[in-house]
Amino acid sequence: MDGEKQFASDVVREGDPPRQITVDVQGAEELTLVLPGSGNPPERPADPRAFQSMWKLLDEQPIRIPAGGHAEVKARVPWDADGGEIQIELSDPPEGIFIDKASCAERTVAIVLRSDAGKVKPGLKGNLIANGYQKRRETNKEGKTREYRIFLGPLPAISFEVVKPQSLSKNRLPSPRLRGEGLGVRGSRTGS
């Protein structure tokens, strides 16, 4: 923090239990996280403030969401999805845009975005910010089980445009049901 090391950890690997770390950042101008030897990211960006998401969007942008309809966007999951349910949450979306469903198969998450025709109109454009989490379960030596979530990081910004319902795009799903329905949607609906 501000050029001085505040905390150092031994190597943490996938599957290790989470660790609580407390660092007082009050009054800090700059906070740098260094992951030596991890290979993540493979190269240091020219601008240390430039963030590179570990997620990768697989669909053409912008995602066209019909007013009152839904569209699907797929993203590559950066970690093994078999470790627990993948959950996706939108961060401060426009009123009337929400995640309807999410499912994960073979390290790819399919996110169904839905728009409420009463709250959004065709022509609305922007970027959606989404965060990924993985729900895990752990049993300690005493046999007590607890569930927790680990943060998988933010997805790249999802560019979207609300279009007229008859302007069907390749992002529109033929049916609102997905394989694996019920996976990973948390409180992303707004104004309901």
CA-based nearest residue to 115, from 59, 169, 56: 169
Sheet holding 56-57, edge to edge: 56-57, 70-76, 108-115, 97-105
Give CA–CA dist 73/96, Å, rounded. Answer: 17
Q: What is the pLDDT of residues 169-191, one digit of tens each?
A: 455 454 444 444 444 444 444 44
**Domains of the chain by start residue, with CATH:** 56-163 (2.60.40)
Q: What is the pLDDT of residues 37-64, one digit of tens each?
A: 544 444 555 565 566 678 899 999 999 9
Q: Does 132 score more than 60 pLDDT?
A: yes
Res 92: pLDDT: 93
66 touches 163 (CB < 8 A) = yes
Give CA–CA dist 128/120, Å, rounded. Answer: 14
Give CA–CA dist 8/24, Å, rounded. Answer: 14
